[in-house]
Amino acid sequence: MEETNMVRKRIRLAQNFFRDRKFVASIVANSSINKGDTVYEIGPGEGIITRELAELAGKVIAIEKDTTLAVRLRNKFRESNNVEIREGDFLRYRIKEGGYKIFSNIPFNITAEVVKAILFGENPPEEAYLVVQKEAAGKFTGKPTETEVSVLAKPWFTLKVLHEFRGTDFEPVPSVDVVLLHVAKREQPLVASANERGYQKFVKFGFEAWKKDLKTAYRHVFTYEQWKRLSKNLSFPLKATPGELRFEQWLGLFEYFLTGVIDSKKAVLLR
């Protein structure tokens, strides 16, 4: 009965577990994780990924929200000196270690919140390997089109899909396509730390403005002649919408914004 209730609970959380330990071992082995790493796992479930991480990492810290599962995991890994099970909610958890990594099969219903916490938290990981819905991965990688969150993240991270899973890799079989998303911190950010807040406000202004195109949205920031020249130099349509610009074009816009004359209206955007 307890096992049945646990399965039902996991289905409500939209969490699909891997079926085959050997398959999980191959996925983990293809990561950069090694004995020098501290790796966090979010929602370890029955510990199939935890076990493989323990074979490669120096230390594995698995954060499990469910009390019953946390107890079961502690019993399962009581003889594994490099595995620590912590009961808690990752979205409220504060990681203090520096240079850590994450490897996790995230419950689908909290994918967006977890990935945003990883990307925009105070202490982001060096790398993260995340099993997520393909649709969600597209929003973070900006493929096929850039999104607000992808443009906000890319100056500090590279994001790409490493693997597309089959539905039969999981139990229960998910009703959506699932991929392995890789997030890696850039050694050198593409936006200086002094300009981080300005970049965020600049991008959010463009995406959240009610105007139908960026030329109209930024009409008090760039003159028509400036926008026309930017459109030509950066190769985007004169009436481009936010999603039509590639990340590199957004970066080019912001760099020009910084080098231009900052008038009173322009300064408001940076506050």
DSSP string across 171-209: ESPPSS-EEEEEEEE-SS-SS-GGGHHHHHHHHHHHHH-
Residue 9 clears pLDDT 90, i.e. is over it: no
Mean per-residue pLDDT, 68-83: 96
pTM score: 0.90
Indicate the angle between helix axes 2-12 and 67-76, nearest 10 degrees. 120
Q: Which two tokens stand for residue 163?
A: 């693997």
Residue 7 clears pLDDT 90, i.e. is over it: no
Confidence bin at 271 (pLDDT 50/70/90): low
Residue 208, φ and ψ in degrees, nearest 5: -95, -10
pLDDT for the residue 130 = 98
CA nearest to 102, candidates 176, 32, 15, 20: 32
CA nearest to 101, candidates 16, 42, 167, 154: 42
User: Do 225 and 254 meet the contact criterion of CB atoms below 8 Å apart?
Assistant: no
What is the percentage of the chain residues whose pLDDT exceeds 70? Answer: 91
For the beta sheet containing 101-105, the strands, ordered from the edge strand earlier in sequence to the opposite edge, are 83-87, 59-64, 38-42, 101-105, 127-133, 178-185, 157-164
pLDDT for the residue 43 = 93
Q: Which residues of 179-211 are buried (b: 16+ CB within 10 A; e: fewer)?
A: bbbbbbeeeeeebeeebeebbbebbebbbeeee
Determine the Cα–Cα distance for residues 46 and 73; give it in Å rounded to an integer. 7
Average pLDDT, the chain: 91
Q: pLDDT digit string (tens) for 134-145?
A: 999 999 999 999
Residue 5 clears pLDDT 60, i.e. is over it: no
Q: pLDDT digit string (tens) for 242-261?
A: 999 999 999 999 999 998 75
Report all structural domains of the chain as residue ranges with CATH numbers, in order of start. 2-185 (3.40.50.150), 193-270 (1.10.8)
Mean per-residue pLDDT, 197-212: 91
> What is the residue whose two structure tokens read 């202490």?
123
- Which comes out higher in pLDDT, residue 210 or 264? 210
CA end-to-end span of the chain: 57
Question: Residue 127, Cα to own-chain centre: how many angstroms?
Answer: 10
Residue 1 clears pLDDT 70, i.e. is over it: no
User: Do 41 and 104 meet the contact criterion of CB atoms below 8 Å apart?
Assistant: yes
Confidence bin at 119 (pLDDT 50/70/90): very high
Determine the Cα–Cα distance for residues 64 and 223; give it in Å rounded to an integer. 53
Mean per-residue pLDDT, 59-66: 96
